[in-house]
Amino acid sequence: MTKNKLKTDFIVIGSGISGVRAAISASKYGKVLIVTKSKLESGSTKHAQGGVAVALSTKDNTKLHFADTISAGAGVCDPEAVWILVTEGLERIKELIKWGTEFDRQDGKLSFTKEGAHRKRRVIHAHGDATGQELERSLLEKVKSNKKINFKEHFFTVDLIVNDGKCYGIVGIDRNSGEKVLIYSKAVILASGGAGQVFLSTTNPLVSTGDGVAMASRAGAYIADMEFIQFHPTALALDITPRFLISEAVRGEGAILLNHSGKRFMENFPMKELAPRDIVAREIFYEMKRERKDFVYLDLSRISKSRILKRFPTIYKFCKGYNLDITKDPVPVVPSSHYLVGGVKTDYNAQTNIEGLFACGEVANVGIHGANRLASNSLLDGLVFGRRAGEMMNIFKKQKVIEVKNKLNLGKTSNQTFTKDRLKLQATMQKYVGIIRDKSNLKKSLRTVLMLKKKLNKAYLNIELLELQNLLIVGELIIKGALAREESRGSHFREDFPFTNDLQWKRHILFRKGRRIE
């Protein structure tokens, strides 16, 4: 196989909000290459409907945003990381507006909506429910006009090039030519997104296969809090892959949850349908189980038709395509895997324990989200810590790009397919490692994952296999974290340990190369 070698000052893996924002800052200190395994627009950013949580309203402040984030995180947020988020986030949004991002306004002022676990209307949005698309548009326009930033689309990053605890670049496959490519750099910023595809039901795009967590784990980076997987309470309950998201902002505007008897089952909970996501998702799960149904209903009848059409045009149009008129029809919804709360452990400047390797966005874990992410904090996270990662490239600007020997052997090309094995993993994770967990089922799932890992321990130049191997690493980390945490906290709920145990478990679970170290 032909091996190509490239050099650049800095590599960014991923073209979502965190990666693009990192590249903008990094470009001040050298040439940046953004690599992405599909198109630039194929990640999760554009799917974000609800908006960005930021305390810019005159009726809000950063202390309240901080308190709501800490509360939703169920006791294991890092307070300093949260404070960085809510304070620096103000400047990041003002910066976006300066760069041409068009957020919705009323009478010239920013419009705010409310989402789960927020005490104030602090979520800004764009084009009703197309916030992610607007952020992606404005940021990509910014980077495409920057002569120091280049792109390599359809490039599958297989592994990091790490030697003696330092990262020297990446090795990957050019999906157009099939060639193996070595790219050397002064530093690498990992911004590859989440891992929702480890579950059968997910709102994540097909590219979200946990590649960043897996390659960082193989390289020896610390991986933290993998048991915390956030399930979004309201994905459209139709046979669509991935699941279409019905934004939490819909409930923020007044929609309520009903069972098949037409009864509102969240009415007696504090904050009702706007309780933290873990609580709403669990109650929907239990209601489905009680009624022996595959979904519940989201009823928008309390919201005027004109308001729905103005605030949720994307959702309205999509549902209309499936003969659902959300202005009058109850919408069938089901919880689906949505956000990887855990990830590659970093400090406040996105630095991992490997020199020259940084991580930001959903792939990273800096401690903001604790055990359960507060709604609409993820885009702000990508902006704030993406910029911080990019700014850290300042310390490498005078260094040279060094080539080191890469030992990775990808083997021969194979056209073998692994669809059945991938579905087996996803179905196992969905059944045994979902919203409700227990020791017996977690052990069953671990046996299946380990069996699949052994079966698929092959070195093929086959991206389908490489993605599946990454998903298996992620799945194993999630299961081992869930087995270790013998309590219920945030998005992790153990039926055999249904209570929160601060005395023993108000802490993080860390892994290194698949082994628990804390």
Which residues are identified as catalytic? 277
Residue found under tokens 């039901």? 201
Instruction: Report the distance separating Cα 437 and Cα 217, nearest Å.
Output: 24
Residue 10 pairs in a beta bridge with 32, 187
SS3 (DSSP) at 509: coil
Q: Is the dihedral of CA 10, 7, 473, 195 positive or negative?
A: positive
Sheet of 515-516, strands arranged across: 364-365, 343-345, 222-224, 510-512, 515-516
Instruction: Report the distance separating Cα 180 and Cα 183, nearest Å.
Output: 10
Q: Are 167 and 355 in contact (CB under 8 A)?
A: yes
Structure tokens at 217: 């784990």
Instruction: Report the distance separating Cα 342 and Cα 477, nearest Å.
Output: 10
Q: Is the dihedral of CA 248, 253, 376, 77 positive or negative?
A: negative
Q: With both helix axes pointing from N to C terminus, report the angle between 17-26 and 131-144 in degrees, rounded to the nearest 10.
A: 30
Instruction: Report the distance separating Cα 315 and Cα 130, nearest Å.
Output: 9
Structure tokens at 348: 């406040």
DSSP classification of residue 408: -
In whole angstroms, what separates CA 390 from the centre of its chain?
A: 19
Give the burial string for 22-48 (b: 16+ CB within 10 Å, else e). Answer: bbbbbbebbebbbbbbbebebbbbbbb
| Cα Dmax for the chain | 67
SS3 (DSSP) at 317: helix
SS3 (DSSP) at 144: helix
Length of the chain: 518
Q: Is the dihedral of CA 161, 164, 165, 168 positive or negative?
A: negative
DSSP classification of residue 506: S
Measured from the Cβ of residue 87, the count of other Cβ atoms closer than 10 Å reads 15
